Amino acid sequence: MNQMKDFYAARFDGLEAAFLWCTETLPPKYKTGSISYYTALEVALLSALTFGASAYFLQVGIPYTRCLWAFTISAGALAFFAHLFLYKRLLTEKRKP
């Protein structure tokens, strides 16, 4: 979409004023206050809760209850931070065109 915008802006005079951003002045992709960040945060939280719950029920299913809550919370935290790490990495990684 940005390529199309640049194409038409280069060919028609005055069209640059109609666009808020050009390709050189785009805002950064990874912003912690954006809607997409909060959506990713919600998805990471729900995934962590379900992964932690599955770890809990797996431990209850096999009779291993020694460190039940420690493993459950650790599994949920690991899933949460893994989601956020991948989200940030995909948005800040420099890709070849």
What pLDDT does residue 41 have?
94
Q: Which of 19-23, 42-46, 72-76 has the lowest mean pLDDT?
A: 19-23
The count of domains in the chain is 2
Global pTM?
0.69
pLDDT in tens, 25-73: 777 777 888 888 999 999 999 999 999 999 999 998 988 778 889 999 9
Instruction: Tell whether 88 and 52 lie within a shared domain.
Output: yes
Residue 97 confidence (pLDDT)? 56
pLDDT at 20: 73
How far apart, in Å, do the first and last CA atoms of the chain sit? 15
Residues 16, 57, single domain; the answer is no
Q: Cα–Cα distance between 80 and 42 in angstroms, integer?
A: 10
Look at residue 72 in the predicted model and tell me its pLDDT: 93
H runs (alpha helix) in 12-34: none
Asked whether residue 88 falls in the same domain as residue 50, the answer is yes
Helix (H/G/I), strand (E/B), else coil: 23: helix
Residue 75 reports pLDDT greater than 90 = yes
Range of the domain at 74: 31-97
72 and 56 inside one domain:
yes
Q: What is the pLDDT of residue 31?
A: 83
pLDDT score, position 73 = 95
Whether 82 and 46 map to the same domain: the answer is yes
Q: Are residues 18 and 62 in the same domain?
A: no
